Structure 1
Amino acid sequence: MTHINTLDPGASPLDYYGFELRRYREAAGLTQKQLGSIVYCTGSLVGQIETARKLPTLQFSERADVALGTGGLLSRLLELVMRSQLPGWFQQVAELEARAVEIGTFHTHMVHGLLQTPAYAGAVLGVLDQSNLDDRTAVRLARQRIFEKAEPPVFWAIVGEAALYQEIGDTQTMREQLAHLLSFEDNPRINIQVLPFSTGAHAGLTGPFDLFRFASDPSIVYTEGYGSGHPTANPDTVKDCSLRYDHLQAAALSLKDSAELIRRVMEERYGEQRDSGGDPVA
């Protein structure tokens, strides 16, 4: 266990966050318990965050910023903290997501992480490993803050129809996830197309991939394996995958038809079941 008096702020973004939280708290003349009562948590939790044993949340960071007069420092640090908690091989991808002006994703069997709900993300991450699941889920969801920027990236997602039927989590989890996809219908920066079963052979049969485009840097293609990621700026690979993505977009349903299919699957497959009297079935 890291002792509070020996916490090294240079060890990691999480350690630096804890060091700064403690420094501001002590400068304000507050105990951990007193700060906890102000930001609506326990003093024990404040202590765990200060000693880098617990991840802070956005809500905690915002409340602590106000209580301690940090000028928003802790909230700004949070993005670095969360990114540092991702698997080492994936941290570069999170940086690409944060810098890109346009992102194009193609996935066949599940919804992309930037569009996942908490329950869906938890079900995905919990397969074979339930350890620290709440924190790991929070870290994944923190990547979605790129959509809250003043100039968020334009995001295109091509989702295989199979992802709508692959029941990850329970029925309620899937219903909420599909409803979440539908919530972007009127958002011109987040566009979702479904590649239907009826397409047959298509340009993405070799596997999922993501395309990142930047304001001034070369585009990057990202593919993924078990426990490893493979970003490349090789011009031939980028050109090939860009062409594949164009063909996948052409083969996929329109934005409107995609939303209609998502809505139909949500109601028919994951809709609330009722008995003959019209009451929900437990």
Structure 2
Amino acid sequence: MANIQTLDPTASPLDYYGWELRRQREAHGLKQGQLGNIIFCTGSLIGQIETTKKVPTRDFSERVDAALGTDGVFSRLVGLVLRSQLPTWFQPYAEMEAKATYISTYQAQLVYGLLQTEEYARSVLATGMPDDLEGLVAARMERQRILEREQPPLTWVILDEAVLLRPIGGREVMRRQLARLLEFTGHRWLHVQVLPNSAGEHASLAGSFNSLRFDDDPDIVYTEDLISGHMTANPETLREAALRYARLQAAALSVEDSAALIARVMEERYGDRS
């Protein structure tokens, strides 16, 4: 196990978190096991986080702040830590997504990351065989906090019907994921439409894409290929994306009919068959 004293707190947010956790714990005269008992976890977990072997969660950070009286230091720091766990190529997009005032996305294969349940996200991310699956899952859940703001970005999501039919994680995981989508029915800031199979050929057969708008920055379009993501503010690309999205919205079911389809698929395909 790494020696915490060798950690460079300037190396990364995770290194700083581990360094600061040990510093604060020792300043309070607590051993790892003693702090673990106070916040209802093992001393081993404390040690793993202090040595960057484990990524802290937001719940862990809030409990540490309460136990050590650190005035929200770890609750604020954990956001940086979790964002740093995202793939390097994805981090610039996540930063822009967090600043956007309007998000529109068409997803051909998967539920959009901001709407994924934790278990659905875990099943998706596991396909890449990552070294730290739980860190990636925690980072994805952290991204979703932008939807909890007092004034979140206006978000418009179009899902291909195939997304509903692909059993990611199995029947129970999919049932809970579709139930999650239904929670947004009638939501003020977030709308979900389904592009039905009956639409046939459509304006984005080439694949998924996201468009982001900002108050003070140029609009961008984001796409992904097999190994990385790409952002552009090219005016011609923006116009083409806007045109294609308008066509997708026209071909998609209404928000109300989309919810009805999601509910029907949830019951007929993933319902209780006992």
Residue in structure 1 matched with residue 19 of structure 2 by the alignment: 19
Residue in structure 2 matched with residue 81 of structure 1 by the alignment: 81
Question: Using the alignment, how far apart are the partners of 1:19 and 1:235 within structure 2?
Answer: 45
1:105 aligns with 2:105: yes
Question: Using the alignment, how far apart are the partners of 2:146 and 2:77 within structure 1?
Answer: 14
Alignment CA distance shift 1:130-1:218 (3 Å): closer
Question: Using the alignment, how far apart are the partners of 2:186 and 2:32 within structure 1?
Answer: 44
* Equivalent position amino acid for 2:241 in 1: C
Please give the root-mean-square deviation of Cα atoms over the aligned residues, in Å: 1.3
Measured after TM superposition, the shift of residue 103 of structure 1 is 0.8
Measured after TM superposition, the shift of residue 206 of structure 1 is 2.0
Q: Which residues in structure 2 correspond to 1:200-279 (within 5 Å)?
A: 200-273=200-273
Measured after TM superposition, the shift of residue 179 of structure 1 is 0.5
Give the number of aligned pairs. Answer: 274
Q: Which residues in structure 2 correspond to 1:148-167 (within 5 Å)?
A: 148-167=148-167
Please list the CA deviations of residues 190-212 of structure 1 after superposition, one character each: whole Å capped at 9, or x if unmatched.
21000111112211122210001
When structure 1 is superposed on structure 2, of 137-146 and 173-182 the one drifting more is: 137-146
Given that 2:90 and 2:229 are in contact with CA atoms closer than 8 Å, whether structure 1 keeps it comes out as yes
Question: Using the alignment, how far apart are the partners of 2:154 and 2:71 within structure 1?
Answer: 30
Residue in structure 1 matched with residue 190 of structure 2 by the alignment: 190
* Equivalent position amino acid for 2:265 in 1: V
Residue in structure 1 matched with residue 35 of structure 2 by the alignment: 35
SS at structure 1 position matched to 2:89: helix
Residue in structure 2 matched with residue 277 of structure 1 by the alignment: none
SS at structure 2 position matched to 1:139: helix
Measured after TM superposition, the shift of residue 130 of structure 1 is 6.2
* Equivalent position amino acid for 2:234 in 1: N
Question: Using the alignment, how far apart are the partners of 1:70 and 1:97 within structure 2?
Answer: 29
Given that 2:101 and 2:154 are in contact with CA atoms closer than 8 Å, whether structure 1 keeps it comes out as yes
When structure 1 is superposed on structure 2, of 138-147 and 176-185 the one drifting more is: 138-147
1:136 aligns with 2:136: yes
* Equivalent position amino acid for 1:146 in 2: I
Given that 2:85 and 2:135 are in contact with CA atoms closer than 8 Å, whether structure 1 keeps it comes out as no
Measured after TM superposition, the shift of residue 128 of structure 1 is 5.2
Residue in structure 2 matched with residue 116 of structure 1 by the alignment: 116
Question: Using the alignment, how far apart are the partners of 1:232 and 1:71 within structure 2?
Answer: 40
Query: Percent identity over the alignment?
Result: 57
Measured after TM superposition, the shift of residue 133 of structure 1 is 2.5
Question: Using the alignment, how far apart are the partners of 2:130 and 2:176 within structure 1?
Answer: 22
SS at structure 2 position matched to 1:230: strand
SS at structure 2 position matched to 1:89: coil
* Equivalent position amino acid for 2:266 in 1: M
Residue in structure 2 matched with residue 181 of structure 1 by the alignment: 181
Structure 2 alignment gaps of length 5 or more: none
Question: Using the alignment, how far apart are the partners of 2:199 and 2:137 within structure 1?
Answer: 33
Question: Using the alignment, how far apart are the partners of 1:176 and 1:268 within structure 2?
Answer: 14
SS at structure 1 position matched to 2:90: helix
1:64 aligns with 2:64: yes
* Equivalent position amino acid for 1:89 in 2: W
Alignment CA distance shift 1:89-1:70 (3 Å): same
Residue in structure 2 matched with residue 55 of structure 1 by the alignment: 55
Measured after TM superposition, the shift of residue 105 of structure 1 is 0.8
Residue in structure 2 matched with residue 168 of structure 1 by the alignment: 168
Question: Using the alignment, how far apart are the partners of 1:17 and 1:131 within structure 2?
Answer: 20
TM-score w.r.t. the length of structure 2 is 0.96
When structure 1 is superposed on structure 2, of 62-71 and 143-152 the one drifting more is: 143-152
Residue in structure 2 matched with residue 46 of structure 1 by the alignment: 46
Question: Using the alignment, how far apart are the partners of 1:108 and 1:227 within structure 2?
Answer: 17
Structure 1 alignment gaps of length 5 or more: 274-279
Question: Using the alignment, how far apart are the partners of 1:128 and 1:185 within structure 2?
Answer: 32
Question: Using the alignment, how far apart are the partners of 1:242 and 1:195 within structure 2?
Answer: 17
Question: Using the alignment, how far apart are the partners of 2:132 and 2:89 within structure 1?
Answer: 19
Residue in structure 2 matched with residue 276 of structure 1 by the alignment: none
When structure 1 is superposed on structure 2, of 129-138 and 261-270 the one drifting more is: 129-138
Question: Using the alignment, how far apart are the partners of 2:71 and 2:186 within structure 1?
Answer: 34
* Equivalent position amino acid for 1:150 in 2: E
* Equivalent position amino acid for 2:114 in 1: L
TM-score w.r.t. the length of structure 1 is 0.93
